[in-house]
Structure 1
Amino acid sequence: MDLNLRKAILSNISTNNQEQLEATIKDAVNGEEKMLPGLGVLFELIWNHSDQQEQQEMVDALEEGVKQASGGNQ
């Protein structure tokens, strides 16, 4: 069986409005494990529609978040 998770997720959210998309993000970041793949697909969309400067800002924010989450300031 060929399961294309990315396509399934995009199909499931294709008609979502901003409020629904925000709820999906909040569910995933608040610990609902089943939402994590969807969060990955949403991030992919954001990344692909961002310019190089925005991508660098995301990487910087991610690096800072990882440092804070791990309790260190490497």
Structure 2
Amino acid sequence: MGFDPNRDLFPIEWELRGEGSLGKIWRKGAAGPVDAGSKVSIRIKAVRGKGNSHGGDEATGVPDNFVIYTAFPLPQ
């Protein structure tokens, strides 16, 4: 089975206390940027593989490794 974002991505939200705004967020089709808050959303990707060094339990679908897939600031 290939990559399935509903099965393989796990969201984590993290607040960077004392950092203030992390800058601006630009969205497609928006008139302009909005201020970012001090929180970020991090998506980690489960690494499941057949016969690679990352392994994972194919029978149960439980991965044994994760990688950061993407991270981005959240609006205030």
Pair in the same fold by TM > 0.5: no
TM bracket (short chain): under 0.3
Relative to total residues, which structure has the larger strand share, 1 or 2?
2
The structure with more radius of gyration: 2
Higher RCO (C-alpha 8 Å, min separation 6): 2
Q: TM-score scaled by structure 1?
A: 0.24
